[in-house]
Structure 1
Amino acid sequence: MGRERTMPAAYGRLLRRRWLTLAVLALLVGALVLVSLTTGSSALTAGDLLEALLGRGTDQTRAILFRVRLPRTAAAAVVGAALALSGCVMQCVLRNPLASASTLGVSQGAAFGAAAAIIGLDAGVQNAANAASAVTISSPAAVTVCAFLGGMATTVFVLALSRLRGAAPSSMILAGVALSSLFTGGTTLLQYFADDVQVATVVYWTFGDLGRPGWSEIGLIAACTAAALLFFLRNRWNYNALSGGGDTARSLGVNVGVLTCASMALCTLIAAVSVAFVGVVSFVGLVAPHMLRRFTGADHRFLIPASALGGAALLLLGDLAARELLSPAVLPIGAITSFLGAPMFLYLLFRRRDRLC
């Protein structure tokens, strides 16, 4: 009897800790948004922000807030959430702790597709002056579709490999490395046959820039991410079952094949749309779910929303570092996340080497 009373009490404490984790993450994201909006070459106070949001304040303050900082901050939060969600679900359905859009080559495949649209379909900048300062995509739909197709090609290959008999988790990571190299080489080859303006567009685009997307692009990323999040949350119990293995999930009535294909398609979609408008941002999808799994466990009721919030917080933090390290110069966000994520990737690889060999 005493043990039966103790178990519900312990479960209640566990649930409270996980809800507390979500609350702390939400507060952290809110605090980072506030810091992001007030930090920059032109320092703004919280009072200045409030005045601008109420339609008061100076024209300069409103211009800085609504044309520069607010879109950039929104892009960081939405893209970070999208990449972290993608990594969280990929790790579950592939049962591979190192799976993410960047480690499986999905981001590089999407980058190749976007570069093909920019160069082959002339969907990049419309004049040389634009290429020197910022990338303006003249046909966002073409770039997004091509980025999705490039990422999906990688996904199909990885799914096919995962279904082969004897394919180990390490095989999928090695395949991702090979595909990343293949698509990177393809992107380089495309640049070789492009003109100077197109080359400048692709190179600048691949750096990663959170200041590039406008409100329409941010809205598209947010809409795709919200739709994927709803699907993932609706299948949270199925993901919990799948964490115990494919046979366990099937015995509980989960259609593993359909769930895996639909989940990977949505993961690819949100990663590809993010890459199409922001550029390659590595390792957020790998790092965020692992950091939050220590607090939420493998319970996807909490891990999925926690990963989204954690990814948003990580990219907001990375954007602050990109803007402040060499201020007033703004460093490429892709380089910042690579510096932060590569050590984490190596740590996970060596910590799990016995299970991956």
Structure 2
Amino acid sequence: MDYERYVARKLSIGVLLFLFTILVSLYSLSHGSYSIPLREVLDALLGKGNESAHLVVWKVRMPRIVAGLLVGSALAVAGAVMQGFLRNPLATPFTMGVSHGAMFGASLAIILGAGYAESSGRISLDNPYAVVLFAFIGAMTAVGVILLLARLKGLSPEAIILAGVAMSSLFVALTTFVQYFADELQLAAMVYWSFGDLGRATWREDAIMLAVFTPVFIYFVIKRWDLNASAAGDEVAKSVGVEVERVRLISTFLAALITAVSVAFVGVIGFIGLIAPHAIRLVAGGDYRFLIPLSALAGAFLLVTADTVARLVLAPMVLPVGIVTSFLGAPTFIYLLVKMEGRR
């Protein structure tokens, strides 16, 4: 009976998160510089209604919201997994240098000719897929170096975190080096790319992110018991048959992979992988059987909400969503840091 209540509570949290995500998505579909009544939004979703509402919903806002759902879920799940396997509440894929590696790759692509300015003065990308490819390679290079060192030298979880900090510093230096030789237009394009923006995603990008995220998410769900054991310590995990080093390296790679794909398409969006898992731990505990799917729901809800705020707070101007998530994440990071120090 107690176990049934335990499971029911987790399921109720999941249902609430799902409903909140649906509600904020509908609100985001209907509000913006061009507001659409909710009834017309529902008609457009069903393929009915006027043509202008259908165009705005399916061509402009829906791809953006789907991107928010996928990127938010990916970042949150990646953060939850890395915090478990590295046994560090501050661990996220960005700790591994993913964002800084992506920024270097994007900057390199731009200085090689992928940026330009329209006559209106707005910065856009002449060859966005070149930037995406270079950003993805840069992100995975940062993680690849760390995992190679971990494999060859048997790095501890603490050492892996420190190696990530070192790689982040290296890629910051490389990015600054590239920016030093950039002209004003190229530098503006680099800064523009670094702002996380879900508006860059189209249905094609959403499909790619979904194709990458789905098998990785299934793998993490299958490995939920390994995560529970690893969170208790390597000795405990090994005693129940978990190949700790192997599973840790594979899981860290996959967490970095879904993050790298997301960052490459929409730019740098920080702190979702930190906020969402810890919020779920506060209300649902640290059982990874529930933490992984609930973190995915929480990450999707947080990012779609943050993007809605970014679109509406200074409408018709649209803020980059990365600014909003940073405002949310910085206090959370400081709180967790102080909490960790208080336990010592």
Name the residue aligned to 2:104. 112
Q: Which residue of 2 aligns with 1:132?
A: 122
SS in 1 for 2:198: coil
* Range moving further from structure 2, 133-142 or 318-327: 133-142
Q: Distance in 1 between matches of 2:140 and 2:336?
A: 29
Higher deviation after alignment, 300-309 or 56-65: 56-65
| Residue 152 (structure 1) aligned with residue 140 (structure 2) | no
Q: In the TM superposition, what are the counterparts of 1:48-63 in structure 2 within 5 Å?
A: 48-63=40-55
Aligned partner of 2:197 among 201, 209, 230: 209
Aligned to 2:77: 85
Say which SS state the counterpart of residue 263 (structure 1) adopts: helix
Render the CA deviation track for 1:242-295: whole Å, top value 9, x for unaligned. Answer: 111111111111111110111011011111111111111010001100000123
Note closer, same or farther for the CA distance 1:313–1:155 as it changes in structure 2 (3 Å cut).
farther
- Give the equivalent residue in structure 1 for 2:29: 37
RMSD: 2.4
CA contact (8 A) 2:271 2:325 kept: yes
Deviation at 1:95, TM superposition (A): 0.7
Quote how far apart the aligned CAs of 1:114 are: 3.0
1:172-191 correspondence to structure 2 within 5 Å: 176-191=164-179
Which residue does the alignment assign to 2:259?
A: 271
**Greater Cα shift, 341-350 or 102-111:** 102-111
CA distance in 1, matches of 2:270, 2:220: 22
Give the distance between the partners of 1:31 and 1:12, measured in 2 at CA.
28
Q: Helix, strand or coil for the counterpart of 1:352?
A: helix
What is the deviation of 1:147? 3.5
Amino acid across the alignment from 1:49: V
Match of residue 313 from structure 2: 325
Gaps of 5+ in 2: none
For the 8 Å contact 1:284–1:314, the answer to whether it is kept is yes
8 Å contact from structure 2 (residues 106, 132) kept in 1: no
1: distance between equivalents of 2:258 and 2:81? 12
Q: Is the 8 A contact 2:280 2:294 kept in 1?
A: yes
Report the TM-score, using the length of structure 1 for normalisation.
Answer: 0.88
Give the match's secondary structure for 1:134. Answer: strand
Residue correspondences, number: 342
| SS of aligned partner of 1:330 | coil
1:41 & 1:161 partners in 2: Cα distance? 54
2:22 corresponds to 1:22: no
Moved more, 289-298 or 84-93: 289-298
Counterpart of 2:253 in 1: which secondary structure?
Answer: helix
Match for residue 213 of structure 2? 225
Q: Distance in 1 between matches of 2:218 and 2:153?
A: 26
Does the C-alpha gap of structure 1 residues 158 and 287 become closer, same or farther in structure 2, counting only changes over 3 Å?
A: farther
For 1:306-345, what aligned pairs fall within 5 Å after superposition?
306-345=294-333
Match of residue 261 from structure 1: 249
Q: Which residue number corresponds to residue 142 of structure 1?
A: 133
Query: Is 1:41–1:327's contact at 8 Å kept on the other side of the alignment?
Result: yes
Residue from 64, 69, 86 that aligns with 1:72: 64
Unaligned runs of 5+ in 1: 1-8
TM-superposition CA deviations, 1:142-185 (whole Å, max 9, x none): 335413433424643784799547x7x4x665654444333223
The offset of 1:112, in angstroms, is 1.7
User: Which secondary structure state, in structure 1, belongs to the residue aligned with residue 118 of structure 2?
Assistant: helix
Determine the C-alpha separation between the residues in 2 that align with 1:141 and 1:206. Answer: 12
Deviations 1:162-216 (A, max 9, x none): 9547x7x4x6656544443332232122122234443332211101111012111
User: Would you say 1:244 and 2:235 are equivalent positions?
Assistant: no
Question: Sequence identity, in percent?
Answer: 43
Q: 1:78 & 1:149 partners in 2: Cα distance?
A: 19
Does the 8 Å CA contact 1:107/1:151 hold for their aligned counterparts?
no
Q: 1:197 & 1:156 partners in 2: Cα distance? A: 36
Secondary structure at the counterpart of residue 94 of structure 2: coil
